[in-house]
Amino acid sequence: MPGSGPWSTCLWCSRRRPGRRRVALRVVFDAAACTGHGRCYSLAPDVFEPDDAGHCLVKVAVVDTPELRAQVETGVANCPEQALRCEPA
Ligand code: SF4
């Protein structure tokens, strides 16, 4: 089904059509907006990790595999503070 799959969950990246997807995504993190809910590193542990206070740290700034792209998109979609976004790298 067109638009299905992990890309469709990303508010910032889902506009690209399946045949024109870019390979790499850059993670953009707004530390001032992060309040430490922990959803990002719980759902996407290969991309995000907690700091000592439970706030987000980005482990991998640019991802280019389907598995990591899916984790980035899941983390972005589930951040309640909109502290995360992704963009074409
Ligand atoms: S889900 Fe959002 S607010 Fe929560 S730790 Fe991650 S970036 Fe911060």
Quickly state the pLDDT bin for 23 (edges 50, 70, 90). Answer: confident
* Residues 8-12: contacts with CB under 8 Å, at least 24 apart: 9/73, 9/74, 9/77, 10/72, 10/73, 10/76, 10/77, 10/86, 11/76, 11/77, 11/85, 12/76, 12/85, 12/86, 12/87
Nearest residue (CA) to ligand 1, atom 8: 34
| Atom 3 of ligand 1, nearest CA residue | 34
**Averaged pLDDT for residues 8-24:** 59
CA proximity to 63, closest of 54, 73, 55: 73
CB 49 within 8 A of CB 41: yes
What pLDDT is recorded for position 31?
97
* Mutation probe of ligand 1 site: the residue of 11, 28, 30, 34 with most atoms within 8 A of C-beta: 34
Nearest atom in ligand 1 to 29's CA: 7
- Indicate if ligand 1 lies below 6 Å from the C-beta of 34: yes
Q: Is the CB of 13 under 6 A from ligand 1?
A: no
Domains of the chain: 1-7+30-89 (3.30.70.20)
pLDDT tens digits along 38-80: 999 999 999 999 999 999 999 999 999 999 999 999 999 999 9
pTM for the whole structure: 0.77
